Structure 1
Amino acid sequence: MAEALRDGGEAGCGPRDDVAAGTPEDERARLLARARQARDGGDSAAALSLWDEALHRWPEHVGRDETLAFAHSLFAFNRPRRPEDALLPPHAAETLARLHSSWPEEPLGWIGLAKLAEWRHAWPEARAHWQAVLDRFDAVAEPDWYEQAMNAAWMNHDGAGFKALRVILRRRWPGHETWWDRYASGGRAIAMSGAEPRHGPSLRDVEDLLRFATPAEARRVLETLSPLDQGSATGRACAQIIRTVERSGLMEDLAAGGADLARPATSFVWRNSAGADRALIVFAGGGRGFWPLVDELHRVLRGCGTHLIYLRDLGGSFYLAGDPDLGIADYGGVLDVLRAQAAGLGATRLACLGNSAGGYAALRYALDLGAEAALAFSMLTNPQTRHDPQVSPALNAIARRNPGLVLDLAQAYAAVPRPPRAILCFGEGHEADRREAERMRGIPGVRLVAAEGLAEHGAIRWFLRRGEVPGLVASLFEAPSA
């Protein structure tokens, strides 16, 4: 889709295909007129491409009005989209930087810096820019600015900052409904009540519904979107997830087991009639990939004789940053939720299971919940030792705000007189995963299990395909040898 903008948009709307010969001033005027015409006609992609060319080719003639018009259209067009789906003309960053430097009295120039950071997934930078917007333009601030600043704070794992922004927003605009109110607090206005959101249905809504709600609710919104959105990378990925899960029967089985699918949020329970006093807490990940993994796991775990508590990591925080559905912005709050859920099931014996980041969480939570054992696949045992651009920023942000929360599990388990028993599963040929598991070799109660010949990170599916997961789960509740 970005290529479409670079080529001038859709269906022959290239910016220069019918510009008549004339002076540069005439050509520029025609481009700007066509941009306004495309905008007024609802063709935002073409309008952005035309503005982009006019503002880039004649920078010496660029004025505030057309620069602001470009910025308004750019933000409005991309506002409902995820950063990875943003459609940016080639010179958008250049124009937004000029807006900020040449007309610093205009909020949109400052907002442009925040949006550019969001589109690069540079969340600490985006959080700082949004705070600068709110500090400098407090007198003319809009609730939508606070909403976007809240999102940047959450993505930066700044739970305290998120809560503070939410308090201010509610105090200044008590009637304003945010994405948080619609999804995380159970409103889900689009799918549940049929009400239209303020910006109209979008891919953002589809992904939020896959994260916070159910595939059926996500499908209903996806079907209302334009072919452009449905055909995007995110749209196709969401459609595949929805089809797979809806055909599997997973949702019907979870509902039959008592799961509250109208509000599944970060955690929900499945009551097993044969579960007795055992509960398995499953750290199944977050984002739109949550339901496919739960689908694969549930087919196996439902026959293991335990109640099941499924969790997902909505903030990409190794399950350490809290539960946005319940307004909990700390690790201790989630521990309390899990204890209450286990008690509600009548479970006095607990074990944890997790994959990847969830593997770290399974081992971490098992310590503080007093669980008997933990089963971890492709886990990290000390995330702060990994200089991975997908891992380090999240963990560093959490560690800065919560000293002592991000633990080296090898040290933590070695320091406890009777730690939970732990089974660490990893790909034999995956150097990083093997190294992380080897760090805990020799600690009492720790068992390492290598997937022979596997050089990939996703060891959990290797063990699922071979039917070895039920035996591993059963061993979690076996009494340790004397």
Structure 2
Amino acid sequence: MAKLPTLDDALRWAEDPEATDRRRYIAADVLISWGMIDRAEPLLERLSQNPQLTGRLKRLRAAARQLRRSGVLNDLAAMTDAGSELIDGRHEAYTARYDGDSNKVIVVFTGADPRFWLSLMMLHMFLKRLNTHVIYLTDLRRLIFFDGLATVARGYDGLLEALRTAIDGLGANDIHVMANSAGGFAGLRYAMDLQAKSFLGMSIRTDLSIGSPVPVGSFFQRPELRQIAPHMLVDLKPMLQESGWPERIKLYAGDANPVDRPHAMHIADLPNVDVTLLAGQSEHDVTSRLLAQGEFEDVLRDFVYGPDRPSEDTRR
């Protein structure tokens, strides 16, 4: 299984005069996702000479501008100066308890990469504005939560019970689940079983059944997944249809992605599902695109408070 680039990799490649354009691009992408825009900008400038990267660089520059405009970089600096603990994805579970009164909780499932394109700390700068508790989950074994989490609870049912206990401990009964990429299949199933009010999925999978007409990909066909949890390799559509939970399901995918689009459209006809296909998008990552377009924060508010919220004011 390929090693995913880390922040340490990005910092090293950014300083390497012999780094390839591919590594420089990856470094810029990772650095911006961590809010290290000043470190990324020289890389973007050097890469501007590569015409094959024009579209991708435009997206990264726009995402960087939106991070500056949003004020989250100032929020992060204030938290860092105050000595707050960083949420870095190195732990399988991290709970950020809201200081005020809230009955809402967001459960975040990352993909194979312990990011949501945005690093978890940068994502938290946006989510903390929603006045909710947040539980961050990362499967460091890269088994996409099929076997629970090694340091929390093994097995799907074990992690489900652990989440119920944690949510009860927060005093929350208004549950929202968001998931990215490889974490999306299990995230959607947990959202169903937790009877979540809403689910937000970025380029997720919805059908992993044997013989599925939807393209699956080798990452989801690994022998270890079949050995550990063969019962998880199912089509979620009939289960969602029978359950009726979550109340609202919002999916984003690139309309030109040959895998992400069919998985989103597979459940698009369910009454509680709304799919947005990003025009001209062939890349797997959609979060940076939404951020670049200035839509990401509204997407998050709609996810928690509903698209018919009366104002921009966050409500408890």
After TM superposition, the score normalised by the length of structure 2 is 0.66
Among residues 164, 178, 186, which one is paired with 1:339 in the alignment?
A: 164
What is the CA distance between 1:269 and its match in structure 2?
1.4
Give the count of matched residue pairs.
262
Identity of aligned residues (%): 26
- The answer to whether the 8 A contact 2:98-2:133 is kept is yes
What is the CA distance between 1:382 and its match in structure 2?
1.0
Return 418-427 or 434-443, whichever deviates more. Answer: 418-427
Distance 2:33 2:298 in 1: 27
- The answer to whether the 8 A contact 1:258-1:269 is kept is no
Distance 1:255 1:333 in 2: 38
Write the mapping of 1:223-234 to structure 2, written as runs, cut at 5 A: none
Larger Rg over CA atoms? 1
Structure 2 unaligned regions, length at least 5: 13-18, 37-72, 309-316
* SS of aligned partner of 1:461: helix
Question: 1:369 maps to what in 2?
Answer: 194
Please state if 1:358 is matched with 2:187. Answer: no
Question: 1:389 maps to what in 2?
Answer: 218
Distance 1:461 1:246 in 2: 12
Q: 1:284 to 1:413 in 2, by over 3 A?
A: same
Please state if 1:402 is matched with 2:207. Answer: no
Question: 2:48 maps to what in 1?
Answer: none
The one-letter code sitting in structure 1 at the alignment partner of 2:297 is: P
Superposed CA deviations along residues 45-80 of structure 1, whole A, max 9, x for unmatched, are xxxxxxxxxxxxxxxxxxxxxxxxxxxxxxxxxxxx
Distance 1:372 1:257 in 2: 34
Write the mapping of 1:48-63 to structure 2, written as runs, cut at 5 A: none
- The answer to whether the 8 A contact 2:255-2:278 is kept is yes
- The answer to whether the 8 A contact 1:257-1:272 is kept is no
What is the CA distance between 1:323 and its match in structure 2?
1.4
After TM superposition, the score normalised by the length of structure 1 is 0.45
Distance 2:140 2:116 in 1: 10
- The answer to whether the 8 A contact 2:110-2:137 is kept is yes
- The answer to whether the 8 A contact 1:372-1:476 is kept is no
Question: 1:293 maps to what in 2?
Answer: 119
* SS of aligned partner of 1:376: strand
Please state if 1:276 is matched with 2:276. Answer: no
Between Structure 1 and Structure 2, the one with more strand by share is 2
Structure 1 unaligned regions, length at least 5: 1-82, 86-206, 224-230
Please state if 1:413 is matched with 2:270. Answer: no
Between Structure 1 and Structure 2, the one with more helix by share is 1
What is the CA distance between 1:446 and its match in structure 2?
0.8
Distance 2:293 2:32 in 1: 25
Distance 2:295 2:201 in 1: 13
Q: 1:417 to 1:480 in 2, by over 3 A?
A: farther
Distance 1:307 1:267 in 2: 13
* SS of aligned partner of 2:99: coil
What is the CA distance between 1:289 and its match in structure 2?
5.2
Return 418-427 or 276-285, whichever deviates more. Answer: 418-427
Among residues 248, 261, 265, which one is paired with 1:434 in the alignment?
A: 261
- The answer to whether the 8 A contact 2:88-2:119 is kept is no
Distance 1:429 1:240 in 2: 21
Structure with greater contact order relative to length (CA < 8 Å, sep ≥ 6): 2
